[in-house]
Structure 1
Amino acid sequence: METRLGLKENLRQFSLLVLVNMLVGGMVGLERTVLPLVGTEEFGIDSDIVIFSFIIAFGIVKAFTNLISGVLADQYTRKQVLVAGWLVGLPVPFLLAWGPSWNWIVVANVLLGISQGLAWSMTVNMKIDLVGPEKRGLAMGLNEAAGYGAVGITALLTGYLASNYGLRPQPFYIGIVYTLLGLALSIRLVKDTRTFTLLEASKNLVIDKQSPRQKPGLWAVFKQVSFNNKNLFSVSQAGMINNLNDGMSWGVFPVLFVSAGVGLEGVGWIKAVYPFVWGVGQIVTGPLADRIGRKPLIVWGMVVQAFGHVIIGIEYFPPLVSGLSGSVMLGIGTAMVYPSLLAAVGDASAPEWRASALGVYRFWRDIGYAVGALIAGVVASWFGLVWAVHLAGLLTLASGIFVWSAMTEPNRLSR
C-alpha cells in the first residue's frame, strides 16, 4: 500500500494510537487523587517534601527518558520503543496497590516515569509522522485530549473507589487492565511509522529558518532546543512552567482540599476536572493552533492558567467551589497551551531530527513536574499550601509574558 501523509489517509492507525494514548494517560490518572493521601493517611508522613517525593521522582525520570526516547526511536523503531514503555510499566499498578512502604511507591513512580517517557513520546511522534506538517496542531490536540481525558476520568474513578472501598488496593486495579490492554494493542496492532518520516523528509518541508536541515547529534539538538533557537527556547520554558503547575496541583490539591473539609469524592472531582477539561479542550485548541498560529494560544493559555491559580488561592469561595472553578480555568489554559507547544516544536525541527527535538522539549517540560513538586513542598513547609498556589500563578504569568515578547510565529505552510 502506498505511503501517504494525512489524517484521513491514516485514520485507522491514527485512531488506534489515540486509544493507546488513552491507556498511557490513564496510568498517570491512577495517582492523581489517591496517592498523596496514601502517604499522609496510610504511611503517616507529615513532611510535604517527602509526600511530594513520588512526583519529583516521576518528573526527573520521565524527563531524562524523554531526552533519550528520540535517540532510541531513531536507532530502533518507534513501535519497539512504545512496546518497551509498556513492559517497564507492567509492575507499576501492583506496587501502588500492595507496596509495603513509601519507598516502594517511589520505585513505582520511577518505573512509571520511564514507561511514560517511552510510551507517550512515541504516540506523539507517530501521530506527527502520520499527518504531516499542515495538521500537526489537530494531531497533537487529539493525542493529548485522549491522554489527559483519560487522566481525568481515571482520577474520578479512583476517587470514587477510594471513598467506597479504601485507599488501597481497589483503586489501582484499573491500572492492571490498562497495562495489559496497552501492551497487547501495541504488540499486535500498532505499525511503525518510519516510512512516513522518510516521505516527509523527501518533500523538503522545513518550516523554521533558524533550524538546521542536516541531522545533528543529540548535544547539538539539545542546544538548539534549549537556547540556540529563540522559538524553541520560548516553547521549552513555557512547557516547563506549564508542567510545574501540574506537578504542584498533583501534590498540593488533595492535601489542601482535604484539610479544608472537602471529602474524597469532592477531591476526586477537583482532580478530574483539570485534566478532563485540559484533554477535551484540545480537540478544539489543536486545530485552532493550525488556523490562528501557536503563539496566541500559548500566551493567552498561560494567562488563563494564572487566573485559575488566583481563583483557588484567594480563599473567598467555599473550598469545593473554588477548587472546581480554578481547576476548570487551569484545564482551559492548559488545553490552549499543550498542543500548540508540541506543534511549535514540530514546526521548528526537520523530520530527520524531530524525534530528538521533541525528546529535548519534553525533557524540559517534564522537569517541570519535579520543579513544581519541590517548590510546592518547600513553600508549603514554610508558608503553607496556599502560597504554593500563589507562586505557581506568578511564574505562569511571567512565562506567558516572556513568550509574548520573545517568540515569533513561523509560516507553517511554507515549502
Structure 2
Amino acid sequence: MDPFDEVPLRELVPAVIGVLVRRGAGFAAAEDAVQEALVEALRTWPADPPRDPKGWLVTVAWRRFLDGVRSESARERREVAVEVEPAAGPARDADDTLEVFFLCAHPALTPASAVALTLRAVAGLTTRQVAEAYLVPEATMGQRISRAKRTVADASFDRPGDPATVRRVLYLVFNEGYSGDVDLAAEAIRLARQLAALVDDPENDGLLALMLLHHARRPARIRADGSLVPLAEQDRSLWDSALIEEGVTVLQSALAQERRGELQLQAAIAALHADAATAAETDWVQVVQWYDELLALTGSPVVRLNRAVAVGEADGPRAGLAALAGVDPALPRHRAVAAYLHEKDGALAEAARLYAEAAALATNVAEKTHLTKQAARLRHSSVVE
C-alpha cells in the first residue's frame, strides 16, 4: 500500500465496522471506534505502514471499543461481554461491507442523514471532511451523523437491505458534493464500483456507467469564471475518453443481461451524447427512443420534460413544444426548457421572458447565472434586430 494514499485505507472502513459489530459492538460504538483507529492510522502509517492493514485497524478499533466499554463499566459496575482481546494479526472475519452499505441507507434515515452516514461509515471520511464537502460547520455535521447512528442503532446485519436505496444514496453523493478536500463525485464512483462488485445486479452496473459517463464531461462543464457550459457548447476534446470507454463497456455488459432498469436507460442516453463527436451529430432519434422506454418504465415527469427537449432536437422545436404541453409547468426547469425550445423556434422575446423567469426560480447559483445571461443575450439580440 502507498503509505501516503488515503483511499486504500478508507476502503477498509466498512469491513472493519462489520467485524466489530459481529464481535458484539453496537453499530454506533463500532463506527466511533473505527473512526478513532482511522485517525491513528493516518497519523502513523505514512512513517510505519503495517503488514496487515485490515488486521491493524481491527485490533486498534477493537481496543478503542473495549476502552470505551470498560470506562462505562467502571461507572456502572459491569464488565464487557468479551473476555479476551483478539490478538493482532490477519483479520479473517467475514466481510460485512454490503451490510454496512445497507445500514447507512436505512429507509428510516432522511436522504441527508443517509448521505452523511454513508460518507463516514462506508467511504471512511472524517466528520470534518464531510462537513467541508457540504459547506456546513463540523459540529452541525457531527450532530447529523450522531442522530443517524441513533436511528439505526437497533437495525440488524441479518436483515436483507435494499440495493435500490443504496443506489439512490450514492447518486445523491455523486450529484451534491462540490467542495472540500475530497472529491465526492470520485468517492461516489469508488463506492459504486464496490457495490457493483458486491451485488450482481445490472442496475448497479447502470449506476456505475451513468456516473462514469457524466463524470467524463466534468472538465468541460464549468468555465473558468464558474459559469455553466451547456452540453451543446462543451469542448468535447476535454471529455475523458477513458472514462467514456469504461462507462460504455460497463453499460453494454449490463444491457446484455436483458433486465433493464431506470439507471441503465439513463446511462444509455448519456452514452449516445458521449458517442457524438459534435452536438450536431447526436443521434436524437435514438435518444427519444430511450426516453420513450424510460418514460414507460418510470412515468416520471422529469423524464417527460427531458424527452420534450430530445423531441425538439429530433423533430423540430414545434414538436418539442407540443411534447412539453403535457408536462406540469410547476416542474423545476420547465421554463428553461420552454425558453430553449421557443428560442429554437425563433420566438426570441418569449424565450428571453421565460429564461428570466427560470433564472428567478433557480436555486443553484451557477444555473441562475447561466439563465440570466441567456435572457440578457436574447434581449440584446432583439434590440439589435
TM above 0.5:
no
Higher relative contact order (Cα pairs below 8 Å, separated by 6+ residues): 1
Normalized per residue, which structure has more helix? Answer: 1
Q: What interval of TM-score do these two structures reach, taking the shorter chain for normalisation?
A: under 0.3
TM-score normalised by the chain length of structure 2? 0.27
TM-score when normalising by structure 1: 0.26
* Rg larger for: 2
